């Protein structure tokens, strides 16, 4: 959850800056891109609950986090090549859809007591804390990297976010599948 929150919420906190400074768009276009991920997240989460009835869902976190990583790295690749608002909408929507696929199962996996000896309440509290810490670390790292001229700015920041999401997908492969 820390890696997920670091990558996704860090990237989300700076996507408007990425679009207005890196892609040289106006706020209206940046708002459209910004809205693509939560819309895709919500829509995919609804579909995921239906899919979970027919499948175990144990691969959803891995696939979803990989999709989020690809979408975030896609924003980085566009920044380095030819920034395009429609392509940014697609990349950021892919990241949001990935989170929508991953998050419900990821949360269940992380907060299901199983044989851990912890109650569901204790595990849910730990999950919420890990998510909050990851998000704060992602936002802090992003703010520090983008405000320093010697770090590569937005490019390095979004590459770092994509790598964190990719690492979260790798960790999810190795996680016990209790969901």
Domain extents in the chain: 2-174
Give the pLDDT confidence of 107-140 residue by residue, as tens digits. Answer: 887 777 566 688 888 888 988 999 999 999 999 9
Query: Where do runs of H (alpha helix) occur along 55-175?
Result: 60-80, 85-111, 120-146, 153-174
Contact 16, 173 (CB under 8 A): no
Q: How far apart are CA 33 and CA 108, in angstroms?
A: 29
Average pLDDT score, the chain? 88
Residue 179 binned pLDDT confidence (cut-offs 50, 70, 90) = very low
pLDDT reported for residue 131? 93
Task: Tell me which architecture the domain covering 2-174 has in CATH.
Answer: Up-down Bundle (1.20)
Q: How far is CA 120 from the centre of its chain?
A: 24
Distance from the first to the final alpha carbon of the chain = 15
Res 54: pLDDT = 63
The pLDDT value given to residue 178: 47
Give percent of the chain with pLDDT exceeding 90.
56
Exposure letters 145-168 (e unless 16+ CB within 10 A, then b): bbeeeeeebbbebbbbbbbbbbbb
CA distance 3 to 163: 9
Instruction: Give the pLDDT mean for 137-154.
Output: 84
24-45 tens-digit pLDDT: 899 999 999 999 999 999 999 9
Question: Are 7 and 165 in contact, with CB atoms under 8 Å apart?
Answer: yes
Q: How far lies 24's CA from each of 56, 76, 94, 157, in Å?
A: 43, 14, 22, 17
Q: String of b and e for 105-135 (b: at least 16 CB within 10 Å)?
A: bbbbbbbeeeeeeeeeeebbeebeebbeebb
């Amino acid at each position: 959850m820390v890696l997920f929150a670091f990558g996704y919420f860090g990237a989300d906190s700076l996507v408007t800056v990425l679009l207005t400074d890196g892609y040289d768009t106006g706020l209206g276009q940046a708002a459209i891109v910004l809205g693509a991920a939560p819309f895709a997240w919500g829509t995919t989460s609804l579909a995921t609950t239906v899919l979970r009835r027919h499948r175990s869902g144990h691969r959803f976190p891995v696939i979803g986090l990989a999709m989020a990583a690809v979408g975030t790295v896609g924003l980085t690749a566009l920044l380095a090549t030819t920034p395009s608002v429609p392509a940014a909408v697609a990349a950021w929507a892919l990241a949001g859809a990935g989170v929508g696929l991953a998050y419900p199962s990821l949360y269940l996996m992380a907060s299901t007591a199983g044989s851990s000896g912890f109650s569901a309440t204790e595990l849910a509290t730990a999950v919420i804390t890990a998510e909050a810490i990851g998000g704060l670390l992602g936002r802090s790292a992003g703010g520090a990297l983008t405000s320093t001229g010697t770090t590569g700015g937005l490019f390095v920041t979004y590459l770092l976010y994509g790598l964190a999401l990719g690492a979260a997908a790798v960790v999810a492969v190795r996680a016990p599948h209790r969901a």
